C-alpha cells in the first residue's frame, strides 16, 4: 500500500520578494486593523508573513475566543472590498515615538531600530541593508513596517484567506516577558490554493504521530513521573522499534559493519579531552558526582567508540576501514518548550556509527555509505531526497589543514557525482572538524526531514590519541566518519508514523493479523489458528470479545491491522479463512496456506 502523496501549494522561490509574501504581509496589517476596531485599547506587537500564511501578536483587554475569529475575518473582507491603498513613508524618530505613544511594544521596537539597527520585528537586518524608520498605512491603520505590501487591498482575493487559530506567545519569545495572543491566518493567491492547503493541513493533523501514537497504543509520556521528553514504549511500540533496529542491523552487517555496546555514563574528563564539554555543555545533563569523580549521561557516542578503538590494542592499516555501530540511547538536555512528541526528545537511540579509516579510503567508503543510505531509506518508500554537501567556508573556525580539507571535499564530491544523486553544495556549513553530507527526505505530505548524516572528522581522533600502523610501519592518525542513517529510532519512528499515516507495511506492523471468530463456538478454533500462524512467525491476535463482528472489524481497521481473518462454521469445516484487509478490501475465502503465501509475499516485498 504505497501512501498517496499530497502536498501543499508550492511556496514561490525568493518568497520574500514574491506577490504571495506581499498578500500575506498586507493581510497581517488588515487583521490588526480589524482587531483594533473590535478590541479598542489592544496593544499590537509584531505581525510577519510565515511559510503558509501570517500572524500578528496582540496584548488584548479581554481573552479572545474562537468565535471572535469569524467576526474579525468578516471585517477583514469588508476592509479588502473598501479598496484602500497601502502608502509608505519615512518618519523621524520623534514623530515615530509620538505616532506609537500608546503602543509600548512598538516603542520598544523603535528604540531597537535606532540603537541596534534591527528590522521592525527586532531581528538583525539582512546583510547590506540599512536600518530605517518607515511606516505603511492603509485605511485607519498605520504600522511600523518596511513592507513590502500590495498596492491596494483589492489586490487580495477575499476568498483565499482564513484565520486558523489562536495561540499564546511570549513577547520576543522570552518566558519572563508578557504572554501575548497570537492569531494565525493562512493566505494564498486563489481559493483553489487555499482549498489545497486546508486539505493538506487536515491530512497532516490526522497523521500527527503524537495523536496516532496514542490511538495505536505505541508509546506514552509521563512527564510528572518519569520526566519530560522521555517516551515510554508499549509492547506494540517496542515491536516496531525493535524491527527498525534489527532491520538496520541486518543491512549493516551485510555491508561489513560490526556492532558494539558502550553503556550510558562516561567520566566527564573524556568529554573535556574530546572537546564536547566546551562545545556541547548546554545539551548535556548536569554531572553526577561520586566523591572526586564526576560522570555524565552520554550525550553522544563518539568518544566512547574512539576509546574502545584505542583500548582494543594496536591497529594495522589492514584492519581499516573498521566500522563500529551501536544502537545507543543518549540523553540530551532539550528545553522543555522545544520538546515535541518523538521528534524532539530527551532520551534518543541513535543508530550511530564511527568508521576508522585512512584518508585515501574516504571516497570509496563514502560511496558505499551512499548505497547503504539509499537502500535503507528506500525500504520505507523514502526515495525522494536531496543530499546537502556542507563544505568549509571563509573564516578561522575551520581546522587549519587545507590539504586534508581539499582532499576530503573532493572525495565526497567525486563519490556523489558517481552516485548520480541529486545534491547541493552549502559553503560555510561544514563543522569546524570536517565536511559532511546530509540526506533531507520528503515524506508523503511533501515535508522535509533531515535524516541521515555522514560527517568527516580530522580532529577527535588526534585529540583522543588514536593511531594505526601504516604500510610504512609508522604510526598515523586515522580519519573518522561519523554516520547515522535513521538519525534516532524515536525520531525516525515519528516520521514513519506520519509518512504511513499509522498503517505500517506488513513487515513492520506490530500486529499483522487479527483472527475474528464469528460466534463463541468458533473461539477455540480461532485460538488454534492463531497458534499455527504464530509458529509461522507472524504476529497475531484473536479478538473474541462479545461485540458484533462488524464492530470488531471496525476496531481492527482503526488499529490499522493489515489482515483480518474471519472464521465461522463454513471456514471451520473447510479449513479456510475469510480475508479482509484494513483498506476494507474483501479478499474472499482462501485456504490457510494460500493466506500464508500471500502475507509472506507482502513481507518480502516490504509492502
Binding site for Zn ion (CB under 5 A): 143, 145, 302, 482
119 bridge partner residues: none
Burial of 348 (0-12, 13-18, 19+ CB in 10 A): buried
Rg (CA), the chain: 29
Pick the catalytic residue from 149, 182, 323, 354.
354
* Minimum distance, C-beta of residue 461 to Zn ion, in the bound complex (Å): 11
* Minimum distance, C-beta of residue 48 to Zn ion, in the bound complex (Å): 7
Which H or E run includes 475?
Answer: strand 475-476
Number of Cβ within 10 Å of residue 445's Cβ equals 18
Angle ∠(467,468,469) on CA atoms, nearest 5: 130
Q: Toward Zn ion, which CB reaches closer, 151 or 536?
A: 151
Q: Toward Zn ion, which CB reaches closer, 320 or 353?
A: 353
Distance from C-alpha of 390 to C-alpha of 189, rounded to nearest angstrom = 35
Pick the catalytic residue from 352, 438, 457, 543.
352
In 3D, which of 479, 484, 436 has the Cα closest to residue 459?
479
Q: Toward Zn ion, which CB reaches closer, 434 or 517?
A: 434
Shortest Cβ contact with Zn ion: which residue? Answer: 145
* Minimum distance, C-beta of residue 460 to Zn ion, in the bound complex (Å): 8
Q: What are φ and ψ of residue 158, in 5° steps?
A: -65, -10
Q: What are φ and ψ of residue 144, in 5° steps?
A: -70, 115
- Active-site residue flag, 570: no
Distance from C-alpha of 227 to C-alpha of 234, rounded to nearest angstrom = 17
Q: What are φ and ψ of residue 222, in 5° steps?
A: -135, 70
* Minimum distance, C-beta of residue 448 to Zn ion, in the bound complex (Å): 23
* Minimum distance, C-beta of residue 371 to Zn ion, in the bound complex (Å): 21
* DSSP line for 525-561: HHHHHHHHHHHTT--EEE---SS-HHHHHHHHHHTT-
Residue with cell 547590506: 128
Pick the catalytic residue from 241, 305, 315, 482.
482
Angle ∠(8,218,243) on CA atoms, nearest 5: 90
- Active-site residue flag, 43: no
* DSSP line for 31-84: HHHHHHHHSTT-EE----EETTEEEEEEE-SS---HHHHHHHHHHHHHHHHH-P
Pick the catalytic residue from 106, 436, 483, 552.
436
In 3D, which of 199, 162, 160, 204 has the Cα closest to residue 183?
162
Burial of 462 (0-12, 13-18, 19+ CB in 10 A): middle
Burial of 414 (0-12, 13-18, 19+ CB in 10 A): middle
In 3D, which of 324, 319, 320 has the Cα closest to residue 301?
324
Q: Toward Zn ion, which CB reaches closer, 112 or 143?
A: 143
- Answer whether 153's CB lies under 8 Å from 21's CB: no
Number of Cβ within 10 Å of residue 212's Cβ equals 20
* Minimum distance, C-beta of residue 602 to Zn ion, in the bound complex (Å): 36
* Minimum distance, C-beta of residue 147 to Zn ion, in the bound complex (Å): 7
Dihedral sign computed on CA atoms, order 536, 538, 541, 544: negative
* Minimum distance, C-beta of residue 235 to Zn ion, in the bound complex (Å): 32
Q: Half-sphere exposure of residue 67, counting CA atoms within 13 Å on the CB side?
A: 1
Dihedral sign computed on CA atoms, order 163, 167, 168, 173: negative
Distance from C-alpha of 141 to C-alpha of 156, rounded to nearest angstrom = 17
Q: Toward Zn ion, which CB reaches closer, 200 or 356?
A: 356
Pick the catalytic residue from 33, 57, 138, 302.
302
- For 437, residues 6+ apart whose C-beta sits below 8 A from its C-beta are 366, 387, 388, 389, 390, 412, 416, 423, 453, 454
- Active-site residue flag, 525: no
- Active-site residue flag, 350: yes
* Minimum distance, C-beta of residue 434 to Zn ion, in the bound complex (Å): 11
Q: Toward Zn ion, which CB reaches closer, 258 or 424?
A: 258
Which H or E run includes 199?
Answer: helix 191-206
- Active-site residue flag, 354: yes
Residues carrying an active site annotation: 302, 332, 350, 352, 354, 436, 482
Amino acid at each position: 500500500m504505497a501512501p498517496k502523496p499530497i502536498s501543499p501549494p508550492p511556496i514561490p522561490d525568493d518568497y520574500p520578494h514574491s506577490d504571495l509574501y506581499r498578500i500575506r504581509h498586507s493581510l497581517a496589517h488588515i487583521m490588526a486593523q480589524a482587531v483594533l476596531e473590535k478590541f479598542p485599547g489592544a496593544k499590537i506587537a509584531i505581525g510577519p508573513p510565515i511559510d503558509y500564511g501570517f500572524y500578528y501578536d496582540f496584548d488584548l483587554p479581554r481573552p479572545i475566543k474562537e468565535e471572535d475569529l469569524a467576526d474579525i475575518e468578516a471585517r477583514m473582507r469588508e476592509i479588502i472590498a473598501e479598496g484602500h491603498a497601502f502608502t509608505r513613508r519615512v518618519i523621524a524618530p520623534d514623530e515615530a515615538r509620538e505616532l506609537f505613544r500608546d503602543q509600548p511594544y512598538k516603542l520598544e521596537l523603535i528604540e531597537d531600530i535606532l540603537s541596534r539597527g534591527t528590522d521592525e520585528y527586532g531581528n538583525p537586518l539582512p546583510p547590506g541593508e540599512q536600518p530605517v524608520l518607515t511606516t505603511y498605512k492603509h485605511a485607519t491603520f498605520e504600522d511600523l513596517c518596511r513592507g513590502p505590501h500590495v498596492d491596494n487591498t483589492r489586490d487580495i482575493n477575499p476568498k483565499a484567506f482564513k484565520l486558523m487559530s489562536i495561540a499564546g506567545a511570549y513577547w520576543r519569545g522570552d518566558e519572563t516577558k508578557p504572554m501575548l495572543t497570537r492569531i494565525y491566518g493562512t493566505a494564498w493567491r486563489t481559493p483553489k490554493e487555499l482549498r489545497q492547503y486546508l486539505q493538506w493541513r487536515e491530512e497532516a493533523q490526522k497523521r500527527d504521530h503524537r495523536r496516532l501514537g496514542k490511538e495505536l497504543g505505541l508509546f506514552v509520556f509521563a512527564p510528572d513521573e518519569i520526566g519530560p521528553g522521555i517516551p515510554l514504549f508499549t509492547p506494540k511500540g517496542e515491536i516496531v522499534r525493535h524491527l527498525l533496529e534489527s532491520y538496520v542491523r541486518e543491512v549493516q552487517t551485510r555491508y561489513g559493519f560490526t556492532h558494539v555496546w558502550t553503556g550510558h555514563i562516561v567520566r566527564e574528563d573524556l568529554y573535556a579531552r574530546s572537546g564536547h564539554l566546551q562545545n556541547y555543555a548546554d545539551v548535556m545533563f548536569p554531572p553526577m558526582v561520586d566523591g572526586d569523580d564526576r560522570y555524565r549521561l552520554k550525550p553522544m557516542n563518539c568518544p566512547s567508540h574512539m576509546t574502545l578503538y584505542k583500548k582494543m590494542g594496536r591497529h594495522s592499516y589492514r584492519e581499516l576501514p573498521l566500522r563500529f555501530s551501536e544502537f545507543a540511547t543518549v540523553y540530551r538536555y532539550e528545553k522543555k518548550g522545544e520538546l515535541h512528541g518523538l521528534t524532539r526528545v530527551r532520551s534518543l537511540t541513535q543508530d550511530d556509527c564511527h568508521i576508522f579509516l585512512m584518508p585515501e579510503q574516504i571516497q570509496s567508503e563514502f560511496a558505499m555509505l551512499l548505497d547503504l543510505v539509499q537502500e535503507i531509506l528506500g525500504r520505507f518508500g523514502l526515495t525522494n531526497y536531496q543530499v546537502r554537501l556542507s563544505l568549509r567556508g571563509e573564516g578561522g573556525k575551520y581546522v587549519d589543514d587545507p590539504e586534508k580539507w581539499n582532499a576530503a571535499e573532493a572525495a565526497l564530491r567525486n563519490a556523489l557525482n558517481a552516485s548520480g544523486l541529486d545534491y547541493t553544495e552549502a559553503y560555510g556549513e561544514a563543522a569546524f572538524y570536517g565536511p559532511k553530507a546530509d540526506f533531507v527526505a520528503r515524506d508523503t505530505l511533501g515535508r522535509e526531514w533531515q535524516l541521515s548524516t555522514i560527517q568527516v572528522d580530522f580532529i577527535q581522533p588526534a585529540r583522543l590519541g588514536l593511531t594505526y600502523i601504516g604500510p610504512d610501519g609508522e604510526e598515523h592518525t586515522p580519519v573518522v566518519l561519523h554516520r547515522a542513517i535513521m538519525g534516532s529510532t524515536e525520531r525516525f519512528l515519528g516520521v514513519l508514523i506520519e509518512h504511513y499515516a499509522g498503517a505500517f507495511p506488513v513487515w513492520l506492523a506490530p500486529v499483522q493479523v487479527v483472527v475474528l471468530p464469528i460466534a463463541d463456538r468458533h473461539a477455540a478454533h480461532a485460538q488454534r489458528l492463531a497458534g499455527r500462524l504464530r509458529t509461522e512467525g507472524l504476529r497475531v491476535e484473536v479478538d473474541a470479545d462479545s461485540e458484533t463482528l462488524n464492530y470488531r472489524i471496525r476496531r481492527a481497521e482503526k488499529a490499522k491491522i493489515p489482515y483480518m481473518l474471519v472464521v465461522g462454521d463454513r471456514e471451520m469445516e473447510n479449513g479456510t479463512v475469510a480475508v479482509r484487509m484494513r483498506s476494507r478490501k474483501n479478499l474472499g475465502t482462501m485456504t490457510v496456506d494460500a493466506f500464508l503465501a500471500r502475507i509472506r509475499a507482502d513481507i518480502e516485498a516490504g509492502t
